[in-house]
Copies of this chain bind each other. A is one copy, B any other.
Amino acid sequence: MSTLLITFERLHQFAQEVFEAIGCAEAEARTAADALLSADLRGVDSHGVARLSGYVRLWENGRVNPRPNIRIVHETPSTAVVDGDSGLGLVVAPFAMQIAIQKAAQVGTGWVSVCNSNHYGIAGYHAMQALGHDMIGLSMTNASPLVAPTFSMERLLGTNPIAVAIPAGQEPPFVADLATTTAANGKLEILQRKGASAPQGWIQDAQGHSTTDPTATTRGGALLPLGGDREHGSHKGYALGAVVDIFSALLSGANYGPWVPPFVAFLPVAPDLPGKGIGHFFGAMRIDAFRPSSEFKQHMDQWIRRFRSARPVEGQERVLIPGDPERETEAERRLQGIPLEASVAEDLEKLGGKLGVAFT
């Protein structure tokens, strides 16, 4: 596959201008571009600028409100529910995470459940907003149904990711960001494009049988919860995905389970929805609400160094700390630029043409 290298700054400017072109205010367009592009920087190419046209199509279908009145609809000292007013998740999520951080500053922790939102990019980006405040950040979201719970023929859950960002001292922060499935949907899309097989335990076909055909999910098949099958603990991945769904949507009044609206604009939204939009859940915990931050960070450094220096198994160089690969990719891409597949570059060029935004 041929790829094009483009600087982060240039790509960011383009994305921001696209968001402005669909009617976002300048500051919100910048916020959305920050969140979206963090995926490209961190190497999660499936969730970054490759989805920009998808967001625009949602706007074209009237499912994204470019000038939302995002507001708190209920709160206590440590909690809030935010209504995203159908805004871009890329804008609603940073708003909600800031509230979690403010509440943590006041009473130790802050927890915000969000309804009436849209897809928010990568979970890790939002959790990481807490790091600069000497806080632990948590972020999760539900998503369109693609995953079959253990023993289910039907798709009832999204890939429902969980992210946890934890500051360290001299070491870089610990950043876990994981879909609650065996494999992320983005990895499946890569296999689909290559015409390659998927490993056993990633997907089932429309009859509920395990399959290695990555296209099965486009014909009624499903992704499998982390664990793959019952014997390997898929009921645990299912339970985790369910918790994400409940915290994100049932606490806030968003749609849940099979009723979560699809990301792609060509699929219809189900009738008689039980809630509003899709849901997210954010948390922030001040480190010094538990113990002095310097003490905590010294032990985080020791934790990280002990794990990183563990004896690796044959054929592996070292044990990784969650967040290591993404951080290394980000450092590289900030210097060298972000690689875009030719098909993505073409799509962006077309999108720019349509909206009157120059791509290069």
User: Which listed residue, B285, B310, B320, touches A153 by the CB 8 Å rule?
Assistant: B310
Q: CA of A151 to CA of B257 in the docked complex: distance in angstroms?
A: 34
* Segment at the B interface, from A31-39, A56-64, A87-95, A231-239: A231-239
Q: Given the interface contacts A239-B176, A322-B235, does A154 sit within 8 Å of B310 by beta carbon?
A: yes
Check if A107 sits within 8 Å of B76, measured CB to CB.
yes
**Interface check A267, CB cutoff 8 A:** no
**Which residue of A74, A228, A231, A236 has the most chain B CB atoms within 10 A of its CB atom?**
A236
Per-residue contact bits, chain A 153-190, to B (CB 8 Å; 1 contact, 0 not):
11010000010101000000010101111110000000
List, in ascending order, chain B residues with CB within 8 A of A151's CB: 312-313, 316, 318-320
Per-residue contact bits, chain A 313-343, to B (CB 8 Å; 1 contact, 0 not):
1101011101000000000000000000000
- Closest CB of chain B to A336's CB: distance in Å? 25
Q: CA of A194 to CA of B12 in the docked complex: distance in angstroms?
A: 60
10 residue pairs, one from A and one from B, having the closest CB atoms: A208-B313, A76-B108, A176-B239, A79-B108, A77-B107, A151-B316, A79-B289, A178-B236, A251-B290, A78-B108
**Interface check A128, CB cutoff 8 A:** no
Check if A107 sits within 8 Å of B78, measured CB to CB.
yes
**Interface check A274, CB cutoff 8 A:** yes
Number of copies: 2
Check if A199 sits within 8 Å of B319, measured CB to CB.
no
- Closest CB of chain B to A242's CB: distance in Å? 7
List, in ascending order, chain B residues with CB within 8 A of A237's CB: 226
> Which residues of A266-317 are within 8 A (CB) of B?
274-275, 285-287, 289-291, 295-296, 299-300, 302-303, 306-307, 310-314, 316
List, in ascending order, chain B residues with CB within 8 A of A313's CB: 151-153, 204, 207-209
> Which residues of A185-218 are within 8 A (CB) of B?
199, 201-202, 204, 207-209
Check if B77 sits within 8 Å of A150, measured CB to CB.
no
List, in ascending order, chain B residues with CB within 8 A of A239's CB: 164, 176, 178, 322
**Interface check A109, CB cutoff 8 A:** yes
List, in ascending order, chain B residues with CB within 8 A of A322's CB: 235, 238-239, 242
Check if B235 sits within 8 Å of A303, measured CB to CB.
no
What residue in chain B is nearest A200 (Cβ atoms)?
A: B232
**Interface check A14, CB cutoff 8 A:** no
**Interface check A227, CB cutoff 8 A:** yes
Q: Given the interface contacts A74-B290, A228-B232, A286-B76, does A150 sit within 8 Å of B314 by beta carbon?
A: no
List, in ascending order, chain B residues with CB within 8 A of A181's CB: 233
What residue in chain B is nearest A109 (Cβ atoms)?
A: B78
Check if B310 sits within 8 Å of A149, measured CB to CB.
yes
User: Which listed residue, B108, B232, B243, touches A164 by the CB 8 Å rule?
Assistant: B243
**Interface check A24, CB cutoff 8 A:** no
**Interface check A111, CB cutoff 8 A:** yes
> Which residues of A241-262 are within 8 A (CB) of B?
242-243, 245-246, 250-253, 256-258
Q: CA of A162 to CA of B236 in the docked complex: distance in angstroms?
A: 10
Check if A77 sits within 8 Å of B320, measured CB to CB.
no
List, in ascending order, chain B residues with CB within 8 A of A144's CB: none
List, in ascending order, chain B residues with CB within 8 A of A314's CB: 207-209
List, in ascending order, chain B residues with CB within 8 A of A303's CB: 245-246, 250, 256-257
**Interface check A146, CB cutoff 8 A:** no
Check if B257 sits within 8 Å of A306, measured CB to CB.
yes
